[in-house]
Structure 1
Amino acid sequence: MLQLKNIKKDYMLAGKPFPALKGIDLSFKENEFVSILGPSGCGKTTLLNIIGGLDRYTSGDLLIEGKSTKDFKDQDWDAYRNATIGFVFQTYNLISHLSVLDNVEMSLRLSGVSAKERKERAIKVLVDVGLEEHIYKKPNQLSGGQMQRVAIARSLVNNPKILLADEPTGALDSETSEQIMKLIEKISKDRLVIMVTHNAEIAEAHSDRIVHLLDGLVTLDSRPSEPVKKEKTEKLENKKTSMSYITAIKTSFKNLLTKKGRTIITALAGSIGIIGIALVLSISNGMTTYTNNIQSDALAGFPITVDQTVVAFGPPEEVTNPRPDLEYISDDLFAPYDSDSSLSSHQNIITTEFITYLSEMNPEYYNSISYTRGLSLNVVNLSDNGSYISVPTASSGVSFFGGSSYFNEMPNNPDFIQTQYDVIFGDYPTSYNQVVLIVDERNRIDLTLLEDLGINIEDEYTSQDLIGRTFKVVLNDLFYNEVGGVYIESTNYENMYNNSQILIEISGILRVKEEASSEILDTGIGYTSFLTDYLLNIEKDSNVVAAQVASPTINVLTGSAFNSTFTYDGVMRSIGGDATPVAVQIYPVSFEYKDEIKAYIDVFNVGLDETNQIIYTDLAETISGTISSLINTITIILAAFAAISLVVSSVMIGIITYVSVVERTKEIGIMRSLGARKKDISRIFNAETLLIGFTAGIFGIIVSFLLNIPINLLVERFIDVPNFASLPATSALFLIVLSTLLTLIAGLFPSRIAAKRDPVVALRTE
């Protein structure tokens, strides 16, 4: 069954080979009890380890059932130890933190046997060796003889063909030794038993055959066995060992339970980083939700605007640097560049087709669509001191946001305006000759506006001082005087005031509501589209408009040719000859509907070239994006600081795992003797770090949820926002996975060290 051919084994000492076995030729039969005797250092244990596959011979060959082992790889030796060999050691070599049953089951775990079959086979063999009452005890609860019986049961549970016993009675008293030897003698009836011992009496009393070793050579063999020649060589078939991940996790879990204190402290330390990151994410999520709500309320009223000119910033123009090696040039060298090269502009062509397209948009998306016309108001007034003045008004083409005019056309939706503003005194305009005075939230009016309207500056006013105030709008034919084909603004304000028939009256005072989402109107004078339409209908037939139509290349207001600043279309809109809007403001119903409106405009642009496309501006999105970017940046920075502690704790877990490897070196040797692969050993320690990381992640998330309670109470007390800090379930799951992965990675190096432990050396470790 077993044959050793000229087996030699050399150990390297101080760089030189030292022979332990000098050429062993032995054959063993099935069902015999062979004792190997010899003094210490003669090579007995080395021979036993080579037969058991724990150590490798230097030369020669070892045949099992006629199959050479010369070409065996690590996995073949692992399978061989698991299925063919059973080990019984002098010091029992039981795994202390496992029960008797678990110790016996270990080799079956490595074989991939199911849990049910594992338990049945282990219990049966424990009953056979007389330990049915001690199945669930730990090894330290047994006597020496009982522990050796457990070791024998473990060696037999996989029904090996060869049982190797290394001084099995060396640590036992004579009575117990006799019991163990009778048990081993009984086992030898149906398998090969090879025992190493110093006790010649025991060997002679129980063995079928005694082999004497001295200085690495066989000096005496009481019953030499010749190898059986068979017509057909038997093939040794050993099933590859494979410990499943589930088995590895269960084994690691049991080990961690034996060191509860260390495991809990390690998990607590590992959870610190998770707690830090979880709290940062919780507060960041609360801040994002809070700011989004504020933005939704504060920015919902900000319109999506389509201005005539859209300016964008781009990279500056590339220019040749006279001295590329210098940032600041002190030489007498200068280079030109275009300061406007970083600006790019797009001219929106607002056509009737586009206006019609907007009118077909779903009205659920918006509160109002306001069209700004380019008509300039010509306003004069009689001041309180009796002088006639021209009231300066900027072109209505200036955008609501960033414009400097105190005269602005209001969106054509009174109901929408009055959801955002209160008419605190007077009435909302209902005709073209009525306007409103818009004050700020503290009832203040700009001094410049009061001066422009000719109102004497006083400390305070009442509504009676303001409502009913009038001024006049002057038509083109009265406002312009023709001089040599050029139309010049008149300076005779008294004449214009006395002859103008369009008297405008302040009918009411508007103030933004306290709960309003935003201030959609500038403070000053707000007039309705009724006035704009009324004036356009008249001015289209004015003399200056007719003159400009007849002179398409010359600006009749200046007598000069049109240029990029003063265009024909621009002048025509200013004097009332063109009613085409210069800007559009779309006021969404809510912050969410902004995307629907923008998507609707994007559809209009499909298929159009770049020149004819409509480019819109969403100021709310710009502000929102800036705030979100700021919050995200702060979150990343804080999370990065918290992650440092997470990395440190992961490294600490790696160190603790290494300590565990050192502490369990003998356990590694035991498992290798049972057939565990290097991969199985590595898998056990990886599973251990994985469990610690998972536990740390779970604990960190639980603590974070608990800490969010006082945080939310404090935040609610100061800013009256309940449930401010909250950790999303996806973030919590991510952090648990992150903790598990980091600790797993940290444990890879120690687990590789464990896997590379020499099983022979590991078994000798105390």
Structure 2
Amino acid sequence: MLQLKNIKKDYVVAGLPIPALSGITLEFQKNEFVSILGASGSGKTTLLNIIGGLDRYTSGDLLVEGKSTKEFSNNDWDAYRNATIGFVFQTYNLISHLSVLDNVEMALRLSGVSSKERKERATKVLVEVGLADHIHKKPNQLSGGQMQRVAIARALVNNPKILLADEPSGALDSKTSIQILKLIKDISKDRLVIMVTHNTELAQNFSDRIVQLVDGRVVEDSRPVHIKKENLNQSKLLNKKTSMSYMTALKTSFKNLLTKKGRTLITAVAGSIGIIGIALVLSISSGMTNYVDDMQSDTLAGFPLTISSVVSTDAFADPAQRMGDLTSIDGSFTDEPIIYSYDEENNTTLHTNIVTDDFLDYLNQMDSELYNSISYTRAISLNIVAETSAGGYTKVVSSQSNNPFTSAGTVLNEIPNSPEFIQSQYDILDGVYPTAYNELVLIVDSQNQIDVSVLESLGISIEEDYTFSDFIGKTFKVIPNDLYYTSSGSTYIPETNYDMLYNSTEAITISIVGILRVSEDASTELLSSGIGYTTFLTDYMIDINLTSDIVVAQEASKTLNVLTGQPFNTQLTYDIVMRTIGGDSAPTGVQIYPVSFDSKDLIKDYLDAYNVGLDEVDSIIYTDLAETISSTISTLISTITIILAAFAGISLVVSSIMIGIITYVSVIERTKEIGIMRSLGARKKDISRIFNAETVLIGFTSGVLGVLIAMVLNIPLNMIINGLIGVTGFSTLTLTSSLSLIVLSTILTLVAGLIPSGIAARKDPVVALRTE
């Protein structure tokens, strides 16, 4: 069954080997009760620890069922202790915070036995040792003899081949000692029992064989045995590898944490401080993002996607690049008293959008539910003359800007051809909405104000205030090309006699029929203040001017500008002049007004799909000013959030380190428990797994507490914010953020506990068992 061949064990003290066993050679057979006697220091316990696999021999060999243990790995020794060896200690070595049943089940947990089978087997063996009524008690509720019976039950539950008892009666009275020895004697009927004791009388009364040790040597063996060599190689030691599952480790750790509820709770609360800080930052950031998104939806949703005739691809270059434009050639500011010439056109990357019929047809096929209106810009210059309040006449300069967001210098602007959409955003203060080519509308701001420069351009004298009737019915004259331009050889000269132009019967009368003001609940101000005219007027004037003398003359002269008599150049081309004088009705720009931010993204996807497969020169580039503004704000919020979260994260890291320290303290406190589990066959990774499971549980609890506390703190925080800015439910912690914080807390505490758990796993089981 068991052979020891010339076993020697040396301990190194101060660099010198101190012999504990000096060549022990013994053989043991099945079903015998062997007592090893000897004085203190004779090597009894060392011999027992080597047989039990807790300690390693220096030389010699230990054979179990004919198999040498020389080549055993750590996992092999763990499996050997779990399946082949059962330990009974003098001081019982029960885990105090576990019940009697849990103590006995521990060896089965390490074997990977199912919960149901563990309970059945542990209960059965406890009944066999006479503890049927005590299985749910804690060890400190039992007498010494009962605790020793628990230790015996734990040693037997895995049905080991060898039972090792180290002074099993040393801490018991004589009556209880006899009861325990009788129990061990019965156990020896179907397995090998080796007992270390100093009590000669008990050894002689109960043992089948007595081995006497003196100074690490066998000096007497009452009944030596010799195992036949031919039988040694026929048997093999087959030990199933121990394997504690993660779930078992979690349950074991959870029970340990429950024994220290106060400390566990305080640790979890301390660990949650960092989570609370980050959770509040994320809550406010989320609220700020939602608030800004809502604000952007209200203020920016009406901003159109603009397709201009010429687009600068440098418009949205990064700030560093734009700053480079302000510096000298090598990128640095110069101190030299020199002025350099600079051609902005040559230093700007421009793209010309060619709005073809195919593209216009493509736009018409777009889902109409995605946009409120599509407005087309024509480059025709309307020649409008107004009668001034003083009785004179002046020419009104209409705006041809493709940017609907600037009102500087604008007086007359074409309004989008979507009356329903415009009227949903604007209130008609007086009059009616223009529906014909000869009808205009006056657009005022939210305070019923209009810029004095607009009034001056319209020839209206500057007063403190006006009545609606001062504008309703006011007329202007649009001058056709044949009336406005006079031929002078090969060139055409604009007429400057505005009196004659205004009073000519060929002049087209247009008048203000209504006054518009942006609604209080409008998403944005779409129209610039001033005079707005309909697309009907643009179409009407193009129809008239298409056959005008100046247009016909320009069509006949492809190389010379009939307005100047000079050849065309890159800045002033034939196409530009033709569009200006009304000889080309093709749009030079498009404004698409989305229904919402979401629909804007769909429209952009639709426009991007048009460019697939096209050369760069034929592609359409659009401008989304709202996205640029939104992106800038979002980046700013994200940056602030990261900075604040980083500061809050410092406390989270500190909390994690503290949990690591507390875990190390727990390792020190439970050193003996580590030794007990190692004696039962626990692997190093099982020990590490148990303490890692503790940190995971604490980290998870800290994360949950932090999230819950942050949610509670959000209540008064939202009340304060609501009082300041009138927004309810501002600070909100999203489910994704909550789960992420719990996971973060768990991971950080796990990492913090890796070092203490590694220390626990590396503890020597023999040394750990001696720890008090």
Q: TM-score range by the shorter chain?
A: over 0.9
**1:675 maps to 2:677:** no
The one-letter amino acid of 1:480's match is Y
Which residue number in structure 1 is paired with residue 495 of structure 2? 490
Distance 2:212 2:333 in 1: 93
Q: Hey, what's the Cα distance between the residues in 1 that align with 2:656 and 2:101?
A: 34
- The whole-number CA distance in structure 1 between the counterparts of 2:136 and 2:489 is 119
Give the alignment of 1:509-528 within 5 angstroms. 509-528=515-534
Q: Which amino acid aligns with 1:666?
A: K
Unaligned 5+ segments in structure 1 are none
Q: For 1:552, what is the secondary structure of its paired residue?
A: coil
1:293 and 1:533 map into 2 onto residues whose CA distance is 38
Separation of aligned partners in 2, 1:614 and 1:134: 85
Q: 1:521-547 deviations in whole A, cap 9, x for unaligned?
A: 110010111211121111122222122
Cα 1:531–1:341 change in 2 (3 A) is closer
Query: Who is 1:269 aligned against?
Result: 270
The reply to whether residue 600 of structure 1 matches residue 606 of structure 2 is yes
Distance in 2 between residues matched to 1:666 and 1:416, nearest whole Å: 80
Letter of the 2:242 counterpart: T
Q: Does 1:208 align with 2:194?
A: no
Contact 1:67 1:233 survives alignment (8 Å)? no
Residues 555 and 568 in structure 1, CA contact (< 8 A), matched pair in contact too: yes
- Equivalent positions of 1:537-686 (< 5 A) are 537-686=543-692
Report the equivalent of 1:193.
Answer: 193
Residues 684-704 of structure 1 show CA distances to partners (whole Å, capped at 9, x for unaligned) of 111111111111122222222
Tell me what 1:243 maps to.
244
Counterparts of 2:342 and 2:469, CA distance in 1: 58
Q: Distance in 1 between matches of 2:223 and 2:528?
A: 116
Structure 1 residue aligned with 2:427, among 422, 426, 435? 422
For residue 353 of structure 2, what is the aligned residue in structure 1?
348
Q: 1:714 to 1:584 in 2, by over 3 A?
A: same
Helix, strand or coil at the partner of 2:230 = coil
Distance in 2 (alpha carbons) for counterparts of 1:594 and 1:323? 40
SS in 2 for 1:34: strand
Q: Which residue of 1 aligns with 2:160?
A: 160
> Are 2:403 and 1:399 aligned?
yes
Name the CA shift for 1:328/1:412 in 2 (closer, same or farther; >3 Å). Answer: closer
TM-score (norm 2): 0.94
Q: Report deviation, 1:322.
A: 12
Q: How far is 1:62 from its partner?
A: 0.6
Q: CA RMSD in A?
A: 2.4
For 1:365, the equivalent position in structure 2 comes to 370
The correspondence for 2:460, drawn from 455, 458, 475, is 455
Equivalent residue runs for 1:82-231 within 5 Å? 82-231=82-231
> Which position in structure 2 is the counterpart of 1:10?
10
Residue 634 of structure 1 and its aligned partner are, at CA, apart by 2.1
Q: Equivalents in 1 of 2:328, 2:511: separation in Å? A: 64
CA contact (8 A) 1:436 1:510 kept: yes
CA drift of 1:445 comes to 1.0
Identity of aligned residues (%): 67
In 2, Cα distance between equivalents of 1:255 and 1:341? 76
What residue identity is the alignment partner of 2:234? Answer: T
**Mean CA deviation greater in 242-251 or 485-494:** 485-494
Deviations 1:25-53 (A, max 9, x none): 11112222222122222211111100110
Show the counterpart of 2:235: 234
Match of 1:52 in 2: 52
Q: What is the count of residue pairs matched by the alignment?
A: 763
What is the deviation of 1:323?
A: 12
Q: Secondary structure at the match of 2:349?
A: strand
Q: Which amino acid letter does the alignment assign opposite residue 604 of structure 1?
A: Y
What is the rounded CA distance, in whole Å, between the counterparts of 1:713 and 1:322 in structure 2? Answer: 54
Aligned partner of 1:728 in structure 2 is 734
Q: 1:330 to 1:601 in 2, by over 3 A?
A: closer
Residue 479 (structure 2) aligns with: 474
1: distance between equivalents of 2:24 and 2:658? 49
Q: CA deviation at 1:486?
A: 2.2
On the 8 A contact 1:678/1:756 being kept in 2, the answer is yes
CA distance in 2 between counterparts of 1:282 and 1:558 reads 65
Deviates more, 1:617-626 or 1:718-727: 718-727
The one-letter amino acid of 2:27's match is: S
Unpaired segments ≥5 residues, structure 2 = none
**In the aligned structure 2, how far is the partner of 1:329 from the partner of 1:689?**
61
CA distance change for structure 1 residues 263 and 288 in 2, over 3 Å: closer, same or farther? same
Q: 2:113 is matched by which residue type in structure 1?
A: V
Q: CA deviation at 1:397?
A: 4.8
Q: Secondary structure at the match of 2:597?
A: coil
Indicate how the Cα distance of structure 1 residues 485 and 614 shifts in structure 2: closer, same or farther if over 3 A, else same.
same
Q: Distance in 1 between matches of 2:39 and 2:333?
A: 89
TM-score (norm 1): 0.95
Contact 1:407 / 1:524 at 8 angstroms: preserved in 2?
yes
Aligned to 1:753: 759
C-alpha distance in 1 between matches for 2:329 and 2:450: 55
Q: What secondary structure is seen at the aligned counterpart in 1 of 2:645?
A: helix
Once the two structures are TM-superposed, the CA of residue 336 in structure 1 deviates from its matched residue by 9.7
State the one-letter code of the partner of 1:490: E
Query: For each residue in 1:282-339, what CA deviation from the matched residue of structure 2 results, as whole angstroms up to 9, or x when unmatched?
Result: 22222222222222222222111111011122586999x9998x96677999999976
1:704 is matched with which residue: 700, 710, 714? 710
> 309-318 or 569-578, which moves further after superposition?
309-318
CA distance in 1, matches of 2:705, 2:602: 43
What's the offset of the Cα at 1:639? Answer: 2.0
Shift of the 34–329 alpha-carbon distance from structure 1 to 2, 3 Å rule, reads: farther
1: distance between equivalents of 2:387 and 2:65?
Answer: 125
Contact 1:374/1:397 (8 A) holds in 2: no
Q: Residue 322 of structure 1 contacts residue 335 of structure 1 at CA under 8 Å; is this kept in 2?
A: no
**Matching residue's letter, 1:688:** E
Deviation string 1:117-164 (CA, Å, 9 cap, x unpaired) is 212221222222222221111111112121111111111111212111
Query: Which residue of structure 1 aligns with residue 282 of structure 2?
Result: 281
| Matched AA of 1:374 | A
Task: Specify the SS of the correspondent of 2:36.
Answer: strand
* Kept in 2: contact 1:399–1:583 (CA 8 A): no
Local SS of the residue matching 2:113: coil
Q: Is the 8 A contact 2:33 2:192 kept in 1?
A: yes
